[in-house]
Chains A and B, each alone.
Chain A
Amino acid sequence: MGAKVKVIHYLNQFFSQIGGEEQAFTKPFIREGAIGPGLLLGQLLGEDYEIISTVVCGDNYMADNTEQAVQEVFDLIADLKPDLFIAGPAFNAGRYGPACGVLSKAVGEKFGIPAVSGMYEENPGAEMYRKHAYIIKTNDSARHMRKDVAKMANIARKLVENIEFSDEDMASYFKQGYRKNLFVEKPGAVRAVDMMLQKMEKKPFVTELEMPKFEDVMPSDAIKEMKNAKIALVTEGGVCSLGNPEGLVASRADKYIEFDISEMDRLSNERFQVNHGGYNNTHANNNPNLIVPLDLMRAYEKEGKIGSIHGTLYSTSGNGTSLANSTRFGEEIAQKLLNDGVDGVVLTAT
């Protein structure tokens, strides 16, 4: 029977029960033993572990004086020689999360001990510190505290006792960004074909890579009278001015460009070109109307098939564009089109 594993637990002013917002400027102090959620944590860690002390700090003090507050925490715990540091859980608390994160990272590194915290996925602290500590995924409030603390205790124990994580363990905390190479018996090609056969035979299969889930959008109402409709042209084909003075990149576009096409009958190759690394630009450079059919649309407008063409052409280069950027472009363009009373959009993609 060895000595118990010495645990230091960190709590903010609220969870340590010293008060609410009015106590948020409290400087770090230390109390012997466990407080509040620490009692549950101690229970779930088990007999071989002991929360020897609880460090408390107000969320505002930590947020406004982070470097100093971290040093003050170091000073409080240095002589205690902890084996394990646990912070929170912070759930969705926006100051408490980063406080737990910064301390987990700092204490873990300074004392060379495992550091574990718990946060909800939208807590900014999760994204900020997931690579620097083990941050368990929790619910957004203390409603399911027991389950969340149990997951934290599980990871903490395995870290201290050097027990290999199961797949379930690894799924319980935010990815830290490490890649681990491993050898498997079957080469990728064989595994891919096996998976495809299982899929075709409608047998269950397990994907090796999770695909992102794309949200469905309710289709907008149809245009009732096309002959009165204002139609806008948008493209991801990479249309830019000749010579590309706008600096539209051919890949991983970080912006979109707007062109005033209100006086144009077509896109002239003396005025426009394309820059898009995802396809052979030769034909498009010769005739940009293959990408944005302004010539044909103008003809429809003259014939009365459509009401009018919106005076602005929106263009970007849709080659390896990040989801975040393309969503942002879409949101901004959507607002502009809405403000300009556009009824429908023809978007050309390459």
Chain B
Amino acid sequence: MAKEIDKVGIPVSIICTITPIAETVGANRIVRAVAVPYPVGNPTVAQEDERAIRNDVLQKSLSALETQITQSITL
């Protein structure tokens, strides 16, 4: 899906855990998720810590959207 959206000229940040899959399939802006069941969060830690983790992932994904690239990147 990410590639089809990218094809029409809209940049996509894909947040996922198994980044090698996204890399193999050819997604362009790949961001490492926290874990499979909670890509953007971590319910196993304290809330304040979780907030920082969530912010980190989301900032990276927005940053990827702001980065001009000619080939795939994984943050």
Contacts and interface: CB of A to CB of B under 8 A. Distances in A.
A293 B17 CA distance: 15
A226 B63 CA distance: 9
Contacts of A236: 1
Given A293-B40, A296-B40, A350-B17, A219 B71 contact: yes
Contacts of B16: 348-350
Given A214-B26, A334-B10, A346-B15, A326 B1 contact: yes
Nearest to B50: A290
B8 A337 contact: yes
Given A219-B29, A219-B70, A348-B39, A226 B65 contact: yes
A347 B13 contact: yes
Contacts of A273: none
Interface string A196-231: 000000000000000000111111111110100101
Contacts of A337: 5, 8, 10
A164 to B, nearest CB: 36
Nearest to B14: A347
B4 interface: yes
A65 interface: no
A223 B65 CA distance: 6
Interface stretch (A5-13, A50-58, A169-177, A278-286): A278-286
Interface in A302-350: 305-306, 316, 326-327, 329-331, 333-335, 337-338, 342-350
A344 B17 CA distance: 21
Contacts of B72: 219
A41 interface: no
B19 to A, nearest CB: 10
Among B16, B22, B39, residue most surrounded by chain A Cβ atoms (within 10 Å): B39
Contact of A290 (B28, B43, B65, B71): B43
Contact of B4 (A226, A289, A327, A350): A327
Given A293-B54, A346-B13, A338 B28 contact: no
B66 A226 contact: yes
B40 A348 contact: yes
Interface string B62-75: 10011111111000
B6 to A, nearest CB: 5
A290 B51 CA distance: 11
Contacts of A316: 1
Interface in A259-304: 278-284, 286-287, 289-293, 296-297, 300
B58 A220 contact: no
A279 B10 CA distance: 29
A222 B2 contact: no
Nearest to B42: A290
Nearest to B18: A349
A223 B8 CA distance: 14
Given A219-B29, A330-B4, A350-B17, 16 more contacts: A215-B26, A219-B28, A219-B70, A222-B67, A234-B1, A282-B37, A283-B38, A283-B41, A290-B41, A290-B43, A296-B54, A343-B11, A344-B11, A345-B5, A346-B13, A348-B39
Interface of B: 1-17, 22, 24-26, 28-29, 33, 36-41, 43, 54-55, 57-58, 61-62, 65-72
